[in-house]
Structure 1
Amino acid sequence: MFRKLLPAVILIAATPAAAGTQTLPHDLSVWGMFTQADWVVKLVMVGLVLASVATWTVLIAKHLELARQRKSAEAFRDTLADAGSLAQLDAASAAHPIVREARAEIAQSADALADAEGLKERLVSRLDRYEAKVARKMTQGVTILGTIGATAPFVGLFGTVWGIMNSFIGIAESQTTNLAVVAPGIAEALLATALGLVAAIPAVVIYNHFARVIAAHRAVVADSAAALLRIVSRDLSRGTLPAVEG
């Protein structure tokens, strides 16, 4: 009797293991979860990886650009602070865009130089516009970091929702709540969430860093504009400005 039941017992004992072996995911590494994911989740993951690459690219490129501009702007500010008049500026400083802006306004006001206060007001307006233009140029490429930081978590959440939805569909189709059936879809969904955070957190931190750096750079430009206004005011008081421009 026992010998007759033994094959059946062996078959029953082996069946769950065999079923589990068939349903268990064969690869739960990051790459394995990506390759097994639904195509929508794959698109989400690829988009988040590209956003992360863009973030680090902006960090490197913008850091080098701003560091170079900041050093040049500080040197120019110190040159203006030491100059007593426009005539004392060297050729390189005289060719600086902010000095060209001032000279252009003085040239356009050549017939109204007697109105010193009016000239100063026009210079302030023009230099303010120049400062705003410099600020806009410095923020180019940085605003994308704010966009990534704001949207990446929600994009990752979309991938999470889609992956979990697929998991529930798998449960309905297999008519089982076996963890081996549910786990792969949930793992893929959570990977999308993780990639969203990996893209968003550095983007926010780097964006805030550049916001502080740009604000400091803009302050240097404002100091240069103020120093240039002082130089023009001295030349106006001395009556040497027409000679300089002519």
Structure 2
Amino acid sequence: MQSAPAAPQTTQSEPQPPASQQPPSQAVAVPDAKTPPAEQTAAPATPSAEHQTPPATELAEVPEPILPHELTPIGMFMAADAIVKAVMIGLALASVVTWSVWLAKTIELLGARSRLLRDLHSVEDVRSLDEASKILQRSNSDIAILTNAARDEIHRSQDAMNHDGVKERVASLFSRIEAAAARRMTRGTSILATIGSTAPFVGLFGTVWGIMNAFIGISKTQTTNLAVVAPGIAEALLATAMGLVAAIPAVMIYNVFSRSITGYRGLLGDGSAELMRMVSRDLNRAEMNPRRMAAE
């Protein structure tokens, strides 16, 4: 008896579940080499306002140099060296003296000239010294001084026989009075000549001293920045400027006064010449009167 053929045994492996059906806990993600990391693919963060780059115009701005002090005459004087300050103060005082002398001498010369011209016109047509003395008795001009001196000398010389000697003595008195008037008019003007001749050199001394200090400051700071060098040089040049301000008006005023005094002496000389003619007429009258009396 034949046995039934056995069913073929098929050895089949158990079916594996598909990858999609595997549980999530067992699924492992394998990174792809071509896929960029998350840090690279993430969008860059927007920078904050604090870290924003300033515009180009703000970067191009250059700060202005800070000057050591204010570049004005007062500021430069206050920042100057003690010797330069002394020079500037001396020059300022010299300028004050110059203008004070100008004011005082101008008033004196104008007053003396006006009185002299008035008295000259008063005695222009006078025939004798006695008449001129009566007219000028209230005047204090140099013409009045000449008139009184001539009359007194004639009165003191009444007993003199030689009239030429009287004229010589009167002429000598006139020359001395004119010289005294000239000295009085020139009093105070010599200081103008002194200021005009010395003030520029005093200012130059202050300039040299200030420039020396400026160079010393450059060597100490070891910089040639103009903002550091300029104030010292400006202080030095200010001394020269003050010297010229004091000297130029002094020289001009001195020249003006010299011409005015020369003109005044010329007018006084005209007055003394007129008085000498009066003296000569008075002496001739005194000489002719005894002859007339003897003839009568």
On whether the aligned pair clears a TM of 0.5, the verdict is yes
Contact 1:41–1:192 (8 Å) recurs in 2 = yes
Q: Which amino acid aligns with 2:82?
A: W
Matched, 1:93 2:136: yes
Matched residue, 1:8: none
RMSD over aligned Cα, in angstroms?
A: 2.2
| Distance across 1 between alignment mates of 2:288 and 2:216 | 81
Relative contact order, higher structure (CA 8 A, sep 6+): 1
Alignment-derived partner of residue 234 in structure 1: 281
Corresponding position: 1:103 with 2:151? yes
Structure 1: how far apart are the matches of 2:135 and 2:126?
13
Question: For 1:173-194, what per-residue CA distance to the aligned partner results, in whole angstroms no more than 9, with x for missing partners?
Answer: 2222222222111100100000
What are the Cα deviations for residues 192-222 of structure 1, in whole angstroms up to 9, with x where unaligned? 0000001111111111111111111111111
Alpha-carbon shift at residue 55 of structure 1 (Å): 1.2
After superposition, residues 34-49 of structure 1 pair within 5 angstroms as 34-49=77-92
**Aligned with 1:212 (options 255, 259, 273):** 259
Matched, 1:32 2:75: yes
Q: Secondary structure at the match of 2:70?
A: coil
CA distance in 2, matches of 1:167, 1:92: 70
Alignment of 1:59-78 (within 5 A): 59-78=102-121
User: What TM-score do you get using the length of structure 1 for normalisation?
Assistant: 0.84
Following superposition of structure 1 onto structure 2, how do residues 1-246 of structure 1 map, counting pairs within 5 Å? 20-21=65-66, 24-94=67-137, 96-112=144-160, 114-239=161-286
Q: Report which of the two has the higher share of helix.
A: 1
How many aligned positions are there?
224
Q: Counterpart amino acid of 2:190?
A: T
Shifted more, 45-54 versus 98-107: the winner is 98-107
Kept in 1, the 8 Å contact 2:130–2:151? The answer is: no
Give distance in 2, aligned partners of 1:25 and 1:91. 74
Kept in 1, the 8 Å contact 2:132–2:147? The answer is no
Unaligned runs of 5+ in 2: 1-58, 139-143, 290-296
Query: In 1, distance between residues paired with 2:104 and 2:286?
Result: 46
Identity %: 54
Structure 2 SS opposite 1:60: helix
Q: State the 1:82 CA deviation.
A: 1.3
Secondary structure of 1:239 counterpart: helix
The answer on whether the counterparts of 1:163 and 1:186 sit within 8 Å (CA) in structure 2 is yes
The 3-state SS of whatever aligns with 2:136 is: helix
Deviation at 1:105, TM superposition (A): 2.5
Counterparts of 2:180 and 2:93, CA distance in 1: 30
Letter in 2 for 1:195: M
**Which residue identity lines up with residue 158 of structure 2 in the other structure?**
A
SS in 1 for 2:251: helix
